[in-house]
A and B are shown apart, each in its own frame.
Chain A
Amino acid sequence: MLKKFDPNIMAFLCNWCSYAGADLTGTSHFHYPPNLKAIRVMCTGRINPLMVAAAFRHGADGVLISGCHPGECHYMEGNYLARRKIFVFRNLLEFVGINPERLQMSWVSASEGKKFSNVVKEITEKIKKLGPLTTFDE
């Protein structure tokens, strides 16, 4: 029998909003699937898309990048810069034949514990539907 697919999802969460939001999810006892592995970064603006590629290469089936809402970046514009970079990178992924839905982005503030749990639920469902990423299997 086929083993049930349990996706690996890597999350890069910004220190000031989304990581605190994820904390709030926990302290508020909102549930979310345990597939997410979070890495705290100071700002989404520091995320090099090659980190995303490396996550895929090393076994992630999906990647989430989450930061402050537009206009609320602790460093003024880091999330705006990230949005551009990730938008372009998603297009590149799609062009080489990797489903861009595997790379998701969300704006979650420190007070949005509920939203964070919903985002993770939704993304996990999405990746489950897409199945394992086999592109980097060799």
Chain B
Amino acid sequence: MQLQIKYFGLIAEITNCEKETIEFSKTLVSELLEELFVKYPSLKQKDFKVAQNHEIVSNSSEITNPEIALLPPFSGG
């Protein structure tokens, strides 16, 4: 499945882009992260959460939506 990955804040500085489309053939959030860690090794040390359908999901969740976001700690207000 084609996934659009969105990056925010400090995470977007590491990936050097705010979004990208990748081909993903596996199932779980953890498997997506493994692939992203290969592409962006320094992501591994960063604090972030993964969102799908506008909700934070765990690493063991299945990816069902083509839009996934990597969200560093919030700092609104």
Query: Are A and B co-members of a single complex?
Result: no
Q: Which A residues fall within an 8 A CB radius of B?
A: none
